[in-house]
A and B are shown apart, each in its own frame.
Chain A
Amino acid sequence: MPEEPRPRTEESRVPDPSRAADPASGPDTGPDTESPRPEASAVRSDPVISLRGATASLGGRPVLRGVDLSVHRGEVVALLGANGSGKSTAVRSVVGQVPLSGGELTLFGTPGRRFRDWARIGYVPQRTTAASGVPATVREVVSAGRLARRRLAPPRKADRAAVQRALELVGMADRAKDPVGALSGGQHQRVLIARALAGEPELLIMDEPMAGVDLASQEVLAGTLREQVASGTTVLLVLHELGPLEPLIDRAVVLRDGCVVHDGPPPKAVGQHALPGHDHVHPHAAPDAEPIRTGLLT
């Protein structure tokens, strides 16, 4: 491979014109970075996640049947598939929560079994609706994301600042003192993402971050993710459908019955998702999409 690995923020991001004036979006706002996103094969630098021939079973039923999955530094990879295809199990095995019965896992070049540098990973588990027994404020939950960095030490100024920053990133700073039990599904999801961001991770792993999330929160989440990606964060996320995150996705891996059936550019949207008027901000058809669809069909 003659090409030298380059940090993805330099050349690979498609700058968002709406953020061109935003200093937070990093070095990729210059006019000479307008080059199109390279093919996934061009990003060959050190794999951050590498699963090879991974097999795993849950309750005696094989769920992963030889999955190969690699994510390179700075990439945004979506794991797609129907319910029960094994996509959640795949990410949970990456973070060590489902033991592999075969195959191998490396994280940042270290065998998964020996990996201890968890502060580099921000994990957003699938949101459960089961409320905890004791109330907890938004800030308390987000602060838990900082424990990977400071372990048993008491929080310092930098920790509190990181928590505040994470709350602002997801637009929940004004709800910091509210109990998480009083939040809507989308707001709760934003809190879980803030908790992962509070640790300032290099790699974000998210399990169905858009499930049950209202329109306003979906837009906030897409914006948050765009900023993270612009600053060089690597992302692996499980999605049911690409939705509003589609422009961010470099590569899609589609699972079916525990096997990889597609690994490459995001699959072309079909049906009403492919329509020019469909901007993927809402999973359901917008009222103005209806006339266009009938027009195409006739």
Chain B
Amino acid sequence: MLELLTYPFMQRALLAAVLVGITAPAVGIYLVQRRQAIMGDGIGHVALTGVALGFLTGTNPVWTAVVVSALGAVLMELIRWYGKTRGDLALAMLFYGGMAGGVLLINLAPNGSNANLTTYLFGSITTVSRQDVVAISLLAGFVMLITLGLRRQLFAVCQDEEFARVTGLPVRTLNLLLAVTAAVTVTVAMRVVGLLLVSALMVVPVAAAQQATRGFAMTLALAVSIGVVVTLSGTVFSFYKNVPPGASIVVLAIGVFAVITALAAPLAKSRARRAAAAEERCTLRDDVLV
């Protein structure tokens, strides 16, 4: 088991996996709270254009993906503000455009082909380079600073936006910051989990954690723990079985969700029954009728 730590590429992959396991659920919890779980998916599609742009211009795709997906995320946030009626259509356009743009640009790049994109779509443990690790660590540091440092403010904004505005919080700035942070997280995660499955790692650990928790802070802590456990074990599994890590990580995460749901459902049911019984017992009697 420990011999895999002697491979430098595995050390890099495992470090990247831990960072992804922390950051993806830490951002995802706010998206789930705001019922925007699908946003990570959209950013993933847009990031593909950024990756292809990196190939085309000969720069590290992580950086071009950060820029392009951040622009896409800001655009989605602006659509959410202004486009109340046609918002879903505009978002769909952004999804398709991002995917199509990526495929188009990669084939325009010298010696580029769809094969280059595959490792970005589904993740890969052997291709995490030294520069990638530096970039991922810096970006993950930014994501943790925002999602953990501003958790009370972001919680207030995502829980009740109108109330947050009346308390004088800079709600628009915080929303844009959250969108950019989600975009950065997507690029942190794309090397390990892949762009098509990154959204799953933002949503599934949160969905699993909230089956068993009663509060936001506990949900955040449990979701991040689940995230780290599944990214690490999924990466190790991929090393032995030679499958894309994104797939094994997401299947594991869904497995954890299923187990927690199976364990928590009877617990929640009995709790609810006890609460209902306490409240519904009659305390009034109509003396007039007696």
A residues near B (Cβ < 8 Å) are 95-97, 116-119, 121, 123, 125, 132-137, 139-141, 143-145, 147-148, 151-152, 155, 177-179, 182, 184, 195, 199, 287
CB-defined contacts of A121 to chain B, threshold 8 Å? 166
Determine the chain B residues whose CB is within 8 A of the CB of A125 once the complex forms: 160, 162-163, 166
Q: Is the CB of A184 within 8 A of B286?
A: no
Given A133-B33, A136-B155, decide whether A147 and B275 contact each other with a Cβ distance below 8 A.
no
Interface check B32, CB cutoff 8 A = yes
> Which chain A positions have C-beta within 8 A of B279?
184
In the complex, which residue of chain A has the Cβ closest to the Cβ of B31? Answer: A133
Report the 7 A-B pairs with minimum CB-CB distance, sorted nearest first. Answer: A118-B168, A137-B215, A148-B167, A144-B156, A123-B166, A134-B33, A179-B214
Cβ–Cβ < 8 Å partners of B184 in chain A: none
> Would you call B206 and A134 a contact (CB within 8 A)?
yes
Given A147-B156, A147-B164, A151-B169, 17 additional A-B pairs, CB 8 A:
A97-B165, A117-B168, A119-B167, A119-B168, A123-B163, A125-B162, A133-B33, A133-B34, A135-B210, A135-B213, A135-B216, A136-B215, A140-B215, A147-B153, A179-B215, A199-B167, A287-B288
Smallest beta-carbon distance B167→chain A, Å: 4
CB of A201, distance to nearest CB on chain B (Å): 10
Supposing A134-B32, A135-B214 touch, asked if A144 and B164 sit within 8 A by C-beta, the answer is: yes
**What number of residue pairs across chains A and B have CB atoms under 8 A from each other?**
92
A178 to B213, CA, bound (A): 10
Nearest chain B CB to A234 CB, angstrom units: 16
Of A117, A132, A177, the residue contacting B159 (CB under 8 A) is A132
Instruction: Tell me the chain B residues, 23-64 only, with Cβ under 8 Å from chain A.
Output: 29, 32-35, 37
Given contacts A96-B165, A97-B166, A155-B152, contact A144 B215 (CB under 8 A): no
Determine if B219 is an interface residue (Cβ-Cβ < 8 Å): yes
User: Can you identify 16 A-B contacts, CB atoms within 8 angstroms?
Assistant: A96-B166, A117-B168, A118-B168, A119-B167, A123-B163, A125-B163, A132-B33, A134-B216, A134-B219, A136-B216, A137-B214, A140-B216, A144-B152, A147-B152, A147-B167, A177-B215
**A121 to B168 Cα, complex, angstroms:** 10
Q: Tell me, in angstroms, the Cα distance from A276 to B73 when the chains sit together.
A: 62
B259 contacts A by Cβ under 8 Å: no
User: CB-CB < 8 A to B156: which residues of A?
Assistant: 144, 147
Q: Which of B163, B168, B286 has a CB less than 8 Å from the CB of A144? A: B163
- CB of B151 to closest CB in A, whole Å: 10
CA A24 to CA B277, docked complex, whole Å: 36
Centre residue among A123, A133, A177, A179 by max chain B CB count within 10 A:
A133
Interface flag for B108 (CB, 8 Å)? no
| Cβ–Cβ < 8 Å partners of A119 in chain B | 167-168
**Known contacts A123-B163, A184-B279: A144-B155 contact under CB 8 Å:** yes
Instruction: Say whether A182 contacts B210, CB under 8 Å.
Output: no
The reply to whether the CB of B258 lies closer than 8 angstroms to some CB of chain A is no
Residue count of chain B within 8 Å CB distance of chain A: 35
* Chain B residues with CB under 8 A of A139: 215
CB-CB contacts of B147-178 with A at 8 A, as 1s and 0s? 00010110110111011111111000000000
- Chain B residue with minimal CB distance to A155? B152
Task: Report if A118-B166 is in contact (Cβ < 8 Å); known contacts: A133-B33, A135-B213.
Answer: yes
A46 to B219, CA, bound (A): 46
**Does the CB pair B159–A136 fall under 8 Å?**
yes
Chain A CB within 8 A of B217 CB: yes
B203 nearest in chain A by CB position: A133
On whether A140 and B217 interact (CB within 8 A), knowing A132-B159, A135-B210, A152-B150, the answer reads: yes
What is the minimal beta-carbon distance from B215 to any residue of chain A, in angstroms? 4
CB under 8 Å from chain A, chain B span 115-158: 150, 152-153, 155-156, 158
**Interface contact A133-B217, CB-CB below 8 Å:** no
Whether B214 pairs with A116 at a CB distance below 8 angstroms is: no
In the complex, what residue of chain A is closest to B215 when comparing beta carbons?
A: A137
Say how far A105's CB is from chain B's closest CB, in angstroms. 14
Closest Cβ neighbor of B271 among chain A residues: A182
B35 contact set on A, CB distance < 8 A: 133
- When C-beta atoms are compared, the residue in chain A nearest to B158 turns out to be A132
Q: Would you give the shortest CB distance from B115 to chain A, in whole angstroms?
A: 38
Map CB proximity to A onto B195-218 as digits: 1 under 8 Å, 0 otherwise: 000000000001000100111110
Instruction: Report yes or no: A195 in contact with B214, Cβ–Cβ below 8 A.
Output: no
Chain A residues with Cβ under 8 A from B167's Cβ? 118-119, 123, 144-145, 147-148, 199
